[in-house]
């Protein structure tokens, strides 16, 4: 018996699922095909993790080892829903795991959110990380910017906006991103959170990094650091919060210098409205909140306003529905029980599994997708009796299907070509890599000699 498995989504969750399955002790052989709609694998590790985080980007090397291990075939530039459908997968595989992640911005429902100059963090991240499906130009013409959110993505966005472009030249940022950031007139980036400094979702490492940028001053306000009982309890009971408190204490001791740029952290601030002038963002109006004594906050009725010319909401990511697959519109995930996809009536859908952010929502680090994948794969293995019985399980038949449809798919060899090309571009400029961002160019490099 051989399990022919399709995995849709070549981010860390999909690649870890392949790795765990192939290493597992099991009474059958496996043959895995990994599909991604992009010509390059690695999902948000390539297109989400900030370029100035080379250590995290380095996880790509471990993921690449899995792809190079010889048990996984890669089909890049294949979009599930258009190039290949659920009906096709049932014809060619015994089962499918969806690991399509989350790339859209969660909504923030306040007046003015649709004004010119109001953006989603996910779109900006896609731009600076060179995602092939977003425009190459990003309007960086604001001097004062607000970022709403108190998670790591908000810090990434604030850092990328405030950092001097020349300090990113050691990274893999594409040329158009360097040029855009270099021309930015930004002077002040204001980061807002509804709750207090001891309730943030930042990781200590990311927070500390924010205070280490060259020629950027950190501004925090004494009024935010009058801790309530719940905050004091969090400092003693939670190691992360303890370290975060230490970082803020160090910042409070520092003299504010005369840097050309500033990052301001504002806590206890609930968004009320993005104010517009002539259709464009001109100010941010927010309500001061206060601790409610139980770790939450309540409004005080005090409304404040600061002038800004751009607003970024970093209030979370959201998954996208997939054709023919159940979708939980409220949480932006595929409904599932430990990775077994559930149909509308709550019963388990045979042969269909989910893992990673599309399974559990857009929270958690890359490492968490590994434990996710373990759980999903263990169900897949146990469910052998309910796998599909495909009419065309032969490995060549899916290749024929895509070829007949005229899908310009890329493979692992093609990814190696693109990878080598990007490294060569980088070497010529004294950098490790420079990303190719144009989809057609990525495909043509990957398929050269095809
Ligand atoms: C801005 C940002 C910064 C982050 N920084 C860090 C960090 O520093 N450290 C850390 O540990 N974690 C970080 N994370 C979290 C980490 O990126 C996620 O935990 C992880 O990438 C989730 O993996 P995934 O495989 O579920 O989804 P993804 O990485 O999103 O992969 C999903 C893949 O599915 C593909 N896909 C989607 N739809 C289709 C379709 N219809 N057909 C075919 N393919 C499809 C996508 O192209 C993508 O390649 C960050 C996340 C974000 C958003």
Euclidean distance between CA atoms 361 and 317, whole angstroms: 8
Residue-level pLDDT, tens digit, the chain, 450 residues: 899 999 999 999 999 999 999 998 888 999 999 999 999 999 999 999 999 998 898 899 999 999 999 889 999 999 999 999 999 999 999 999 999 999 899 999 999 999 999 999 999 999 999 999 999 999 999 999 999 999 999 999 999 999 999 999 989 899 999 999 999 999 999 999 999 999 999 999 999 999 999 999 999 999 999 999 999 999 999 999 999 999 999 999 988 889 999 999 999 999 999 999 999 999 999 999 999 877 789 999 999 999 999 999 999 999 999 999 999 999 999 999 999 999 999 999 999 999 999 999 999 899 999 999 999 999 999 999 999 999 999 999 999 999 999 999 999 999 999 999 999 999 998 888 999 999 999 999 999 976
Helix (H) or strand (E) holding 286: strand 280-291
Question: Ligand 1: distance of its center to the CA of 450 in Å?
Answer: 28
What was the pLDDT predicted at 221? 95
Euclidean distance between CA atoms 407 and 85, whole angstroms: 13
What was the pLDDT predicted at 199? 94
Range 290-294, long-range pairs (CB < 8 A, 24+ positions): 291/196, 291/228, 291/230, 291/231, 293/228, 293/229, 293/230, 294/230
What is the model's pTM? 0.95
Question: Ligand 1: distance of its center to the CA of 189 in Å?
Answer: 26
17, 40, 49, 375, best to mutate for ligand 1 pocket (most atoms within 8 Å of CB): 49
12, 37, 47, 48, best to mutate for ligand 1 pocket (most atoms within 8 Å of CB): 48
Residue 14 CA: nearest ligand 1 atom is 25
Q: Is there an atom of ligand 1 within 6 Å of 8 CB?
A: yes
Domain boundaries, the chain: 2-103+320-409, 105-317
278: buried, middle or exposed (CB in 10 Å: 19+, 13-18, 0-12)? exposed
What was the pLDDT predicted at 364? 87
Euclidean distance between CA atoms 34 and 177, whole angstroms: 30
What was the pLDDT predicted at 294? 76
CATH number, domain 2-103+320-409: 3.40.50.720
Contact call for residues 189 and 262 (beta carbons, < 8 A): yes
Residue 100 CA: nearest ligand 1 atom is 34
What was the pLDDT predicted at 450? 63
Q: Which CATH class is domain 105-317?
A: alpha beta
Euclidean distance between CA atoms 177 and 294, whole angstroms: 43
What was the pLDDT predicted at 218? 96
């Amino acid at each position: 018996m051989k399990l022919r498995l399709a995995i849709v989504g070549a981010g860390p969750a999909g690649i870890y699922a392949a790795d765990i399955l192939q290493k597992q002790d099991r009474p059958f052989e496996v043959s895995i095909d990994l599909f991604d709609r992009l010509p390059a694998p690695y999902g948000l590790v390539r297109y989400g993790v900030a370029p100035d985080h080379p250590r995290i980007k380095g996880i790509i090397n471990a993921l690449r080892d899995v792809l190079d291990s010889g048990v996984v075939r890669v089909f890049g530039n294949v979009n599930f829903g258009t190039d290949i459908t659920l009906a096709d997968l049932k014809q060619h595989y015994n089962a499918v795991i969806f690991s399509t992640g989350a790339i859209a911005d969660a909504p923030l429902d306040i007046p003015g959110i649709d004004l010119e100059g109001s953006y989603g963090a996910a779109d900006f991240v896609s731009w600076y990380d060179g995602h092939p499906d977003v425009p190459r130009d990003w309007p960086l013409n604001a001097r004062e910017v607000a970022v709403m959110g108190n998670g790591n993505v908000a810090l990434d966005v604030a850092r990328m906006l405030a950092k001097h472009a020349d300090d990113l030249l050691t990274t893999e940022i594409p040329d158009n991103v360097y040029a855009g950031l270099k021309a930015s007139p930004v002077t002040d980036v204001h980061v807002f959170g509804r709750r207090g400094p001891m309730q943030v979702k930042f990781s200590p490492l990311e927070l500390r990094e924010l205070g280490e940028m060259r020629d950027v001053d950190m501004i925090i306000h004494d009024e935010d650091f009058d801790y309530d009982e719940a905050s004091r309890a969090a400092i003693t009971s939670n190691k992360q919060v303890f370290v975060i408190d230490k970082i803020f204490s160090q910042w409070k001791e520092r003299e504010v210098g005369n840097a050309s740029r500033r990052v301001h952290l504002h806590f206890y601030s609930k968004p009320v409205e993005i104010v517009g002038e002539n259709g464009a963002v001109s100010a941010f109006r927010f309500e001061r909140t206060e601790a409610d004594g139980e770790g939450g906050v309540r409004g005080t009725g005090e409304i404040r306003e600061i002038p800004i010319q751009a607003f970024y909401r970093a209030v979370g990511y959201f998954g996208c529905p997939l054709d023919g697959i159940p979708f939980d519109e409220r949480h932006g995930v595929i409904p599932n029980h430990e990775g077994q996809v559930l149909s509308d009536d709550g019963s388990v859908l045979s042969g269909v599994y989910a893992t990673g952010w599309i399974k559990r929502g857009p929270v958690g680090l890359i490492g968490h997708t590994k434990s996710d994948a373990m759980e999903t794969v263990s169900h897949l293995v146990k469910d052998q009796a309910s796998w599909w019985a495909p009419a065309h399980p032969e490995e060549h038949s899916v290749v024929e299907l895509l070829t007949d449809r005229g899908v310009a798919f890329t493979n692992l060899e093609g990814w190696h070509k693109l990878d080598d090309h990007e490294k060569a571009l980088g070497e010529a400029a004294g950098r490790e890599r420079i990303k190719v961002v144009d989809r057609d160019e990525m495909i043509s490099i990957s398929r050269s000699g095809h």
